[in-house]
Structure 1
């Protein structure tokens, strides 16, 4: 299949939200607390897209994944309990989700590769991310893709595992 990673459009909020709802349910079924507090929600997705930070992974016209990408914009990362690998510019990935219909095909890893390419295209050599302590699938993906555990950050009062990958040209 051919995959394309591009900025999301406001007209795509409904299919993006459907994918995020599937991921919220998956987290719940896995016994995770992540995303069980009304976040993310359609308003968050709309803000992502309006700010040019919402991205989709598509095959043909079908949206199969979503992520928000922020450049140097994650206040919580300034208060890490631990130490980042770098202190230069960075891309943050949030809200990474793949459609139920496309799970198990390595597409989260493909999306992360596209996120890394996005960083490099902006001459940024660091990608940072975080996930819940109990989100084992995401932790495994980060570790398999060369991300280094750097410590803990806090979102809405909850500790999260923080990761960074330093990219090379």
Structure 2
């Protein structure tokens, strides 16, 4: 997944969690072993979402332009 956004008037309705569950199901169906995501260090809503969905913080990565991102991973069983 490249980007996750929910319309302002639809926030706090569970859509982001539904998208994450769908992403996980599709990924597991394709036999991948984990999900990985990254976000800007100040993106608290995304960080909270990832942690609530079972992702673990893995450290800092740097994207192609050198910008640091907090990296998260969720093993799939």
Q: TM-score, normalised by structure 2?
A: 0.92
Instruction: Report what 2:39 is aligned to.
Output: 131
The reply to whether residue 114 of structure 1 matches residue 22 of structure 2 is yes
User: Following superposition of structure 1 onto structure 2, how do residues 2-151 of structure 1 map, counting pairs within 5 Å?
Assistant: 93-151=1-59
Question: Which protein has the bigger strand share?
Answer: 1
**5+ unaligned residues in a row in structure 1: which ranges?**
1-92
The reply to whether residue 166 of structure 1 matches residue 75 of structure 2 is yes
Segments of 4+ moved more than 4 angstroms? none
User: Computing the radius of gyration over CA atoms, which structure comes out larger, 1 or 2?
Assistant: 1
Match of 2:2, SS?
strand
Match of 1:113, SS?
helix
Match of 2:32, SS?
coil
Match of 2:18, SS?
helix
Deviation at 1:152, TM superposition (A): 0.9
**Greater alpha carbon shift after TM alignment, 98-107 vs 140-149:** 98-107
**5+ unaligned residues in a row in structure 2: which ranges?**
none
What do you get for the CA RMSD once the two structures are aligned? 0.9
Q: Which of 1 and 2 has higher RCO (CA within 8 Å, sep 6+)?
A: 2
Instruction: Report what 1:157 is aligned to.
Output: 66
Q: Number of residue pairs matched?
A: 76
Q: TM-score, normalised by structure 1?
A: 0.43
